[in-house]
Copies of this chain bind each other. A is one copy, B any other.
Amino acid sequence: MRCEDVAKAERIRIYDVARVAGVSVATASKALNDTGRMTEATRQRVKQTAAALGFRPNAMARALTQQRSFTIGLLTNDTYGRFTLPVMAGISEALVDEGVSVFLCGIEDDAALAALHVDAMLDKQVDGIIATGKRIDRRLPVDLSGLAVPVVYAFTDGPSDAVTLVSDDDQGARDAAEWLLGLGRQRIVHVTGPDSFASVAARAGAFCSVVGEKAKVLHGPWSEAWGHEAVAQLWRGEQSPPDAIFCGNDQIARGVVDALRERGVAVPEQVSVIGFDNWEIVAAASRPPLTTVDMNLKELGREAGRLILQLAEGKPVEPGVRKLPCKLVVRQSCGGETIAAGDQGGVLQEV
């Protein structure tokens, strides 16, 4: 009857497909999943019927029998989302084709909230959990070890026997330092964050090993204000001021660039500046736009997605820390050729 169609627009079940195709439910299921044995003709007939009817299997029912929900949880404490969003985008990209969806949970350093969300995820039978955060060496306020589901740590610290993904701070800093040396810079200073961060130490170490004896490192907060302050310190000093500054993040770099402009020092003519993070909103809005180290967070997310998928499927994954390479994005704060990569580092296209 016509009115049946109109009345409810009921979702059609595999039962309907089976009936229309003239086979049993079991056969329909096997036909659609390319399992079991049957005439190729039967299989095709079922598939065509399903397509014609617009059949979409109920993921809940499927999850119940297969013990897989095709769902994963993403836990983060990064409120601004500047690290989480690129990671999330990568994860999503890696998983959407597999039919896996992502629960996002922001937990803001609140242990109770975190526990609540983890419980909710487990109730929803997630196939795995990816933990991510604000900085590589900071932990989430929740213990994810001993869970019944696999866990991958991406851009956040986890237990030593866990599967962990981080960006290669060492290599990123080395590339930046070498780039500055390659531009002929002589007096290079590293203005970075608090030395309580492991990644700060790693970058500083790599920086010093490239630059050598004359390397100088200044620590301070992760803020624009610190960039201003650092420039004031450097230009106040007795010895000649630097001709290049490698900054620990883009905010510091922006502060440095602004301070230099106000001081009448030309960037990049007199001083080259490199940032870290490639946080487009900051890097592209600086004057001049910042050459900066991109941590490839989206790729890191993709890899995290692939790994959690493998684990969810029961395939073995070697535990340990995996480092993913950083990439220097060249804009205009450094001088030197404007590489093709300049494209993607281009103007911030807002809204």
Pick the interface stretch among A23-31, A113-121, A316-324: A113-121
CA distance A251 to B349 in the complex (A): 13
Shortest Cβ distance from A5 into chain B, in angstroms? 13
- Chain B residues with Cβ below 8 Å from A116 are 96
Total copies of the chain: 2
Residues of B within 8 A of A88 (CB): 104, 106
With a cutoff of 8 Å between Cβ atoms, the chain B residues found around residue A96 in the complex are 113, 116-117, 120
A348 at the interface (CB under 8 A from B): yes
Kindly state whether residue A89 has any CB partner on chain B within 8 Å.
yes
1/0 per residue A328-351: CB within 8 Å of B?
000000000000000000001011
Taken together as a complex, chains A and B put the C-alpha atoms of A77 and B246 apart, in Å, by: 33
In terms of DSSP, what is the predominant structure of the interface of chain A? Answer: mixed
Q: Does A132 contact B (CB under 8 A)?
A: no
B-contacting residues, A1-52, CB 8 Å: 9, 11
**Which residues in chain A, 101-132, are within 8 Å of chain B measured between CB atoms?**
101-106, 113, 116-117, 119-125
Stretch at the interface among A63-71, A175-183, A211-219: A63-71
**Which of A54-62, A158-166, A236-244, A267-275 contacts the other chain?**
A54-62
Point out the residue from B61, B99, B251, B351 that lies within 8 Å of A350, measured CB to CB.
B251
| Contact, CB under 8 Å: B101 / A121 | yes
Contact in complex: B80, A123 (CB < 8 Å)? no
CB–CB B223/A348 < 8 A? yes
Within the complex, the shortest CB–CB distance from A144 to chain B, in Å, comes to 15
Q: Check if A53 is an interface residue, CB within 8 A of chain B.
A: no
- Within A242-268, the residues touching B (CB, 8 Å) are 251, 258, 262
CB distance from A128 to the nearest CB of B (A): 15
Q: Is the CB of A119 within 8 A of B56?
A: yes
Interface residue A134 (Cβ < 8 Å from any Cβ of B): yes
The number of chain A residues touching the other chain, given as a range, is 35 or more
Q: Is the CB of B60 within 8 A of A222?
A: no
Check A285 for interface membership: any CB of B closer than 8 A. Answer: yes
Q: Type the 1/0 row for A81-102, where 1 means its CB is closer than 8 Å to any CB of B.
A: 1101100110010001001011
Instruction: Please determine whether B101 and A103 come into contact, CB atoms closer than 8 angstroms.
Output: yes
Residues of A in contact with B (beta carbons under 8 Å apart): 9, 11, 56-61, 63-64, 69-71, 74, 79-82, 84-85, 88-89, 92, 96, 99, 101-106, 113, 116-117, 119-125, 134-135, 138, 148, 193, 221-225, 251, 258, 262, 280-282, 285, 348, 350-351
What are 26 pairs between A and B in contact, CB < 8 Å? Answer: A56-B119, A56-B122, A57-B123, A58-B123, A60-B64, A60-B69, A64-B64, A71-B124, A74-B104, A80-B82, A80-B281, A81-B82, A81-B84, A82-B281, A88-B106, A92-B105, A101-B103, A101-B121, A134-B351, A222-B350, A223-B285, A223-B348, A225-B285, A251-B285, A281-B281, A281-B282
Known: A80-B280, A102-B103. 18 other contacts (CB 8 A): A58-B64, A59-B123, A60-B69, A60-B124, A64-B64, A70-B124, A79-B85, A80-B81, A88-B104, A96-B113, A99-B123, A101-B103, A101-B121, A135-B351, A251-B285, A251-B350, A262-B262, A281-B282
Nearest 4 A-B pairs (CB), nearest first? A81-B81, A104-B104, A81-B85, A222-B350
